[in-house]
Amino acid sequence: MQINPNDYSTIFYAGGHGAMWDFADNTELSKIASKIYENGGIVAAKFATVRLVWSTLN
């Protein structure tokens, strides 16, 4: 399944033990979050802030 970030206004990363390993180097999640943010959307995390560390803007 393909995700089109233009179809979303928010992305929320839920935490937990696995988030540190599953989210940390996932470049696709980074691209999706960056695009949502650049489109004026919201990027949020609870106990999964490691994902935000690796996200960059264009």
pTM for this entry: 0.75
- Residue 1's pLDDT band, with cuts at 50, 70 and 90, is low
Mean pLDDT of 5-10: 96
3-state secondary structure of 32: helix
**What pLDDT score does 51 carry?**
60
Share above pLDDT 90 across residues of the chain, in percent, rounded to a whole number = 33
Tokens 């233009």 belong to 6
What residue ranges do the domains of the chain occupy?
Answer: 5-53
Q: What is the rounded CA–CA span in Å between residue 41 and residue 12?
A: 11
| pLDDT at site 42 | 96
pLDDT tens digits for 37-51? 999 999 988 766 666
